[in-house]
């Protein structure tokens, strides 16, 4: 069995990237698809958002990147969600980009760690930092696809051009099989004309690459990380929970009948 790896990336902060990574991973697991969430962000918000204290984790993604730990040993079960495990981040990850600058095959460190793993869940979700540095490059290099959250606010589309260029560069030089899983509209406010305008422009520019599922602006989604819970544990009846569950179902259905590509799979 291969693992299909999705990197959640956007160099802009505050677009719902970590919220998407956490709740997509949790949603996939709740739908019966065994999933691993890899926290590549030194801020460790995906780790804490699932009720895991980053300060108490002595080992995590950093150790996988520098070759001092294996994914099989570094992953820990996510509290309250069966079928979901987490490779946590902590502040050690801040030093990874500096330490890897002169490392051989520095862009492939996460891919190599995943390739060595004997653990083969259905999906791997990678939460990236809000930058296009070496940590994000590592994630894109090992992924089958990238999922791009797009905030429904002014200037949102302008930020996509730099990310698109980076994805194309990764495709040409490091990971020719990298695809765009989709663009996910986030923080959509039905009462706001701008949200509708951004959504219309995104669909006009990117067509079917934009998911039909739209993530609403939802107070419960904003509150859940402070309680260390995914939206499903915090308020499973909220609009945010229903939207992310629909996203998980969409991705499972999309990949149910097709074998994932070799690149980024844990073999």
In a domain, 263, yes or no: no
Q: Is residue 126 part of a domain?
A: yes
pLDDT given for residue 258 in this prediction: 52
Q: Which CATH number is 20's domain given?
A: 3.40.50.300
Q: Is residue 266 one of the residues assigned to a domain?
A: no
Mean pLDDT of the 176-200 span: 94
Greater pLDDT, 232 or 266? 232
Residue 27 forms part of a structural domain = yes
Q: Which domain holds residue 42?
A: 4-255
C-beta separation of 151 from 188 below 8 A: no
In a domain, 264, yes or no: no
Q: Residue 153: its pLDDT value, please?
A: 86
Cα–Cα distance between 21 and 83 in angstroms, integer? 15
Rounded CA separation 229/224 (Å): 6
More confident residue, 120 or 266: 120
| pLDDT bucket at 261, cuts 50 / 70 / 90 | very low
pLDDT in the model for residue 208: 94
Report the distance separating Cα 217 and Cα 186, nearest Å: 7
Mean pLDDT score of the chain? 92
Please check whether residue 260 lies inside any domain of the structure. Answer: no
Q: How far apart are CA 93 and CA 86, in angstroms?
A: 15
* 262 assigned to some structural domain: no
**Mean local confidence (pLDDT), 30-37:** 97
**Residue 264 has what pLDDT?**
33
In total, how many domains does the chain have? 1
Say if 119 falls within a structural domain: yes
């Amino acid at each position: 069995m291969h693992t299909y790896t999705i990197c959640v990336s956007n160099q802009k902060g505050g677009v719902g990237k970590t919220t998407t990574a956490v709740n997509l991973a949790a949603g996939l697991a709740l739908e019966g698809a065994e999933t691993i969430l890899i926290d590549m962000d030194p801020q460790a918000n995906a780790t804490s958002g699932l009720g895991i204290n980053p300060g108490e984790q002595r080992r995590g993604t950093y150790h996988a990147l520098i070759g001092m730990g294996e994914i099989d040993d570094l992953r820990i079960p996510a509290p309250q969600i069966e079928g979901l495990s987490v490779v946590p981040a902590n502040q050690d990850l801040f030093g990874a980009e500096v330490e890897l600058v002169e490392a051989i095959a520095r862009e492939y460190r996460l891919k190599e760690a995943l390739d060595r793993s004997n653990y083969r869940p259905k999906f791997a979700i990678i939460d990236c930092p809000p930058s296009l540095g070496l940590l994000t490059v590592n994630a894109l290099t090992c992924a089958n696809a990238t999922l791009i959250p797009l905030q429904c606010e002014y200037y949102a589309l302008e930020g996509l051009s730099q990310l698109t260029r980076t994805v194309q560069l990764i495709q040409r030089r490091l990971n020719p099989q990298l695809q765009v899983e989709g663009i996910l509209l986030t923080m959509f406010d039905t009462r706001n004309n701008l949200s509708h305008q951004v959504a219309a422009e995104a669909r006009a520019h990117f067509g079917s690459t934009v998911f039909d599922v739209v993530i609403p602006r939802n107070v419960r989604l904003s509150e859940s990380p402070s309680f260390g819970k995914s939206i499903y544990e915090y308020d499973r009846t909220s609009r945010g929970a229903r939207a992310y569950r629909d996203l998980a179902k969409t991705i499972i259905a999309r990949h149910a009948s097709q074998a994932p590509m070799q690149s980024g799979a844990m073999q």
